[in-house]
Structure 1
């Protein structure tokens, strides 16, 4: 039967081969990257970008832009892996790491990274509830966990399509919440342009640059995206029209990274234009109070709503990634809601202990730094192998670009760790 006459099976993820126009088909194929892109808009990103703008103005604009460009390549490679092989990155690594001990050790570091990510996201949601409704942090963390369990329940019961719609709806709230202030306090165009020139001003600016990149390109987003693409398009594995889906995936990733990059840049620009030099903006609570003072309660409230949506969406995606890591590497399929409950405990302990939430966010980014090379290097290596991706393996320049991005990110994360532990 000609492709133009093939029936659409949207229930099971088959490709829409009809005479419908190309834009309609493209929209149907979008989704996985938008869900994975939520990881680029979690509370850790908010804290890093807000602090960078308040402390150094437009100096680190180039870091946000460069991080987003690298993120595009990394997320596309992750999605391509899931589409072409029908397996996630953890599944492939689980098959290729032969020794049980090595596989368990790899799982342990990946699990710690996923839990650190989850920690930051639950804390962000708790802080947002405290700012909006004066909810105690411990209760706020519990509420964030319960709502994320509901969202994950949607994924388990209703499948990837409905899960995508929920997360994308939260993504829209995040975008509005974090960009509204820029329209009230527009950035200086000259300052933005000057910020595109790569440079630093002292050790602390290097630390912040590494923090921005560490909060932007996170291991769990790499693991999750390959699984999201696998789950969304199961019938495409081995089909002749996979190349068309990969083309659509480039659009999916481009749109997701454009949204994430714009929002992250807006956070930094808002802090640079309205909060530069203001005391206390190195914490989420302080940034909220500063926005309330300088731009008014409406912008501060919208910002807090965006922070809440950020925590809820990103913790749901983080829990999904953690479940995939365990299944792929240990071949253990723990019920995702049970896993959500277990991984919620460390965040609640920290919130209940009175430990400073923003400091906990910073420490979680340090833990994430350890996991970057373990996810990124295997991704570039595997997607370059003909024996795994066949004709869809990376071209030489894609592999070179991926290797350069990996080296830069690993180097900057090493710098972050050195600066943190040296007390800079």
Structure 2
């Protein structure tokens, strides 16, 4: 498990749940192709982000600071802060609701538990990046396993599922908006900044070997995240 597993967790956030479940419930399997292509685009973007950190030893934010005039840098900084705050708000509320549903606690208690869990996970960074990668990777695999179980019980139509993944369809104007929502929830700007930061201090082997390892890391992590997104939509479509 490498840095891509930390980045991949950003691809199964509350935004993905909302858009994928809504798309599956409204249009069945017809928008699965959007998830496939969005995930392929995300793979390419994350590989480029990771390579930037490896090649230059600087993350995307540092590159923007070094190569653009100050007004542009300020614009990108404000943009990044707004994106981060909006994303954190959705993640925090989503986690609090999750604790409420699972444990039967109040929303406020769920928020407190979310804060505690967040700080406990972040404290792992004191031990280096690897322990954090293992914990986040484990959580990603747990979510994937949960959706395998859900797919087993929901019994989706495999023929329609395969057709939906391959044949593009936008049956109504609402489907266009949902497809845009799926795309927007999949390709996350903050994860592009994050991945370049995670790889900028990688050591061991030649640069070419690190490139090669990064490709496999991204391919595996993003395939798992893509499967989870497909499973979300397919499960909603089956019901």
Mark yes or no: TM-score above 0.5.
yes
Q: Pick one of 156, 171, 187 that aligns with 1:201.
A: 171
Q: Pick one of 148, 160, 165 that aligns with 1:179.
A: 148
The normalised TM-score by structure 2 is 0.95
Q: Write the deviation string for residues 137-161 of structure 1: whole angstroms up to 9, x where unpaired.
A: 2221222122101111111x11101
Q: Name the residue aligned to 2:6.
A: 35
Residue 200 of structure 2: SS of its match in structure 1?
helix
Over 3 Å off, 4+ runs: none
Q: Distance in 1 between matches of 2:185 and 2:140?
A: 17
Q: Is the 2:55–2:207 contact (alpha carbons within 8 Å) kept by the matching residues of 1?
A: yes
Residue 74 of structure 2: SS of its match in structure 1?
helix
Q: Is the 1:79–1:225 contact (alpha carbons within 8 Å) kept by the matching residues of 2?
A: yes
Q: Write the deviation string for residues 33-68 of structure 1: whole angstroms up to 9, x where unpaired.
A: 111011111121111111111111001010000001
Q: Pick one of 233, 244, 248 that aligns with 2:213.
A: 248
Larger radius of gyration: 1
Aligned positions of 1:339-354 closer than 5 A: none
Q: Name the residue aligned to 1:46.
A: 17
Q: Name the residue aligned to 1:158.
A: 127
Compare the two structures and name the one with the higher helix fraction: 2
CA RMSD of aligned residues (A): 1.4
User: Higher relative CO (CA 8 A, sep ≥ 6), structure 1 or 2?
Assistant: 2
Q: Pick one of 61, 74, 81 that aligns with 2:32.
A: 61
Q: Is the 1:179–1:267 contact (alpha carbons within 8 Å) kept by the matching residues of 2?
A: no
Q: Distance in 1 between matches of 2:107 and 2:74?
A: 34
Q: Pick one of 220, 223, 227 that aligns with 2:193.
A: 223
Q: Pick one of 116, 140, 158 that aligns with 1:189.
A: 158
Q: Distance in 1 between matches of 2:108 and 2:25?
A: 28
Unaligned runs of 5+ in 1: 1-29, 275-424
Q: Name the residue aligned to 2:98.
A: 128
1:146 to 2:116 alignment: yes
Q: Name the residue aligned to 1:10.
A: none
Is the alpha carbon distance of 1:193 and 1:178 closer, same or farther for their aligned partners in structure 2, counting shifts above 3 Å? Answer: closer
Q: Write the deviation string for residues 286-339 of structure 1: whole angstroms up to 9, x where unpaired.
A: xxxxxxxxxxxxxxxxxxxxxxxxxxxxxxxxxxxxxxxxxxxxxxxxxxxxxx
1:102 CA displacement: 3.0
Identify the range of structure 1 (191-200 vs 76-85) with the bigger mean alpha-carbon deviation.
Answer: 191-200
Q: Write the deviation string for residues 263-299 of structure 1: whole angstroms up to 9, x where unpaired.
A: 110111111112xxxxxxxxxxxxxxxxxxxxxxxxx
Q: Distance in 1 between matches of 2:217 and 2:179?
A: 27
